[in-house]
Amino acid sequence: MKKILYATSEAVPFIKTGGLADVAGALPKCFDKRYFDVRVILPKYECIGQKWKDQMQYITHFYMDLGSKNCYVGIFQLEYEGITFYFIDNEYYFNGPKPYTAAPWDLEKFAFFSKAVLSVLPVIDFRPDIIHCHDWQTGLVPVYLHDSFQGGEFFRGIKTIMTIHNLKFQGVYDVPTVQEITGLSSYYFAPDKLEAYKDGNFLKGGLVFADAITTVSNTYAEEIKTPFYGEGLDGLMRARTNDLRGIVNGIDYDVYNPETDSDIPYNYNANTFRKEKIKNKIALQKELGLEQDSKRMMIGIVSRLTDQKGFDLIAYIMDELCQDAVQLVILGTGEEQYENMFRHFDWKYNDKVSANIYYSEPMSHKIYAACDAFLMPSLFEPCGLSQLMSLRYGTLPIVRETGGLKDTVEPYNEFEGTGTGFSFTNYNAHEMLGVIRNAERVYYDKKREWNKIIDRAMTKDFSWNSSAAQYEELYNWLIGC
Ligand code: ADP
Ligand code: GLC
């Protein structure tokens, strides 16, 4: 039995701020249980719902050194859908209404978490063959493993994988502070280790010391070797090119299934969408106070509101787009400028635009089900899950050809009758508007073609099956090394 431990800062259903939580919650379930024992470890945040906290079982606690501090480490456990989840408890670090705040506090919080991940293993008597780390929050796991956990049999030979979900976030602060927080010696603060551009960098540490690196799409794996997408680490990505591979994300086909989804008013599938999907649109128009017209093309956005997602392009053409026969439904939270931008257009075009500036899982499902198209013109996109959810719900994605969007959305080709969505190349607002208008044209003038695109979109397989197999292959290979 191969033992794998996922170290992550979020996982559904316990805590989620973005796609990482979807991946860390869904992927562990997809491995062949005869050969793989996959468990997950994450912080026991105060903001995790009481419902979950009530189900956690206290295992034990101990104290651990971190820099000059001696810290309490509590361990809780919960079985969920056949997977063992461990939660690291420390109310000093994991308090507050959200998992993340800002540096340097977050750095200290996740230095604690990363070291605790290793410290708990002998205590719970689980020796993983591989620790699979996700994003900068767990970047120090491979570093601490290399540094202070090598004496003795237990840790010897444990392999690490660093998966990049978003290279933009690296966990960076000045070297003296990072050194003080982490307790790592000055040996680690050199440009071939944790130091990047004179700062201490958690993710870089992980990328240097991990045995293998993955990211969440093939295109992003290539893009991050270039200065535009490399976020200052493209040189390192090029240097580790032989250890870097892209494995595209999937989505949880049980949770995101229009046929069984209890969050949507009318269930449907690839055979019944022609009649049933439209009912979800009318229900949502009613709920959000939009003009009730089943024929009106409805475009959805469900997203963190950050510049990564291409909102500058949308802001630039909103007035023009709102002259068209379309409705826009937005669900998201994030940067104030984008929240206010959507609130403004909601006020200005009240019967056409509905800005929902909050976080709601059920509302996101309603939007995936109700809309005709889904707009995701990202500046960069490591993978993107929202477009996969849209495809599954027969809501055609309109995307920019970057990262995982390029790998998962096949542009409609009207001559060959192929494609599952619409896409454009350059980060240019009018190029995007042109493609949206092309989609409008197909929607209004060639409804049968539109429905055939939906047919293809809904029958594409973006479950975890093939990607989980690729991770299995990587795990087998690493363990065999
Ligand atoms: P990222 O991880 O960069 O935010 P992804 O497309 O990979 O982007 O994943 C985003 C996930 O977060 C999807 O599951 C999406 O439905 C969800 N999501 C984003 N914003 C909201 C919101 N306001 N309410 C509900 N779900 C949201
Ligand atoms: C990140 C990326 C997103 C990806 C998600 C899960 O948040 O921004 O593109 O889908 O991680 O891997």
The tens digit of pLDDT for each residue in 397-425 reads 999 999 999 999 999 999 999 999 999 99
pLDDT-derived band at 370, boundaries 50, 70, 90: very high
| Average pLDDT of the segment spanning 20-42 | 97
Alpha helices, H only, 129-272: 140-147, 175-182, 202-209, 218-223, 227-230, 234-239
For residue 332, give the amino acid letter: G
**What per-residue confidence (pLDDT) applies to 148?**
82
pLDDT number for residue 250: 98
Query: What's the rounded mean pLDDT across residues 449-465?
Result: 97
Nearest residue (by CA) to ligand 2, atom 11, is 165
Q: Which ligand has its closest atom nearest to the C-alpha of 405? A: 2
Average pLDDT taken over every residue of the chain: 97
| Identity at 334, one-letter amino acid code | G
| Helix (H) / strand (E) containing 97 | none
Domains 2-250+465-479 and 273-461 share a fold: yes
Q: What is the pLDDT of residues 427-442, one digit of tens each?
A: 999 999 999 999 999 9
Where do we find the tokens 């570093």?
143
Whether 319 shows a pLDDT value over 90: the answer reads yes
On the question of pLDDT at 151 being above 80, the answer is no
What confidence tier does 266 reach under pLDDT thresholds 50, 70, 90? very high
Using a pLDDT cut of 70, give the percent of the chain over it.
Answer: 100
Residue 333: pLDDT over 90? yes
2-250+465-479 CATH, one of 3.10.129.10, 2.60.120.10, 3.40.50.300, 3.40.50.2000: 3.40.50.2000
Q: What are the boundaries of each domain within the chain? A: 2-250+465-479, 273-461
CA of 186 to the centre of ligand 2 (A): 33
* pLDDT at residue number 152: 78
- Placement of tokens 């973006």 in the chain: 462
Record: fold of 273-461:
Rossmann fold (3.40.50)
**Ligand with minimal distance to 248 CA:** 2
pLDDT at 98 over 90: yes
**Cis omega (within 30 of 0) for bond into 13:** yes
Each residue's pLDDT tens digit, 197-256: 999 999 999 999 999 999 999 999 999 999 999 999 999 999 999 999 999 999 999 999
- DSSP three-state, residue 241: helix
User: Is the pLDDT at 176 greater than 90, yes or no?
Assistant: yes
Task: Give the whole-angstrom CA distance, residue 372 versus residue 370.
Answer: 7
Ligand nearest to the CA of 163: 2
Q: Residue 386 CA: which ligand 1 atom is closest?
A: 6
Residues contacting ligand 1 via CB (< 6 Å): 18-19, 22, 302-304, 331-333, 359-361, 364, 383-386
Q: Given a cut of 90, is residue 387 above it in pLDDT?
A: yes
Residues 6 or more apart from 336 whose CB is under 8 A from it?
none
Q: What angle do the packed helices 311-321 and 336-348 form, to 10 degrees?
A: 10
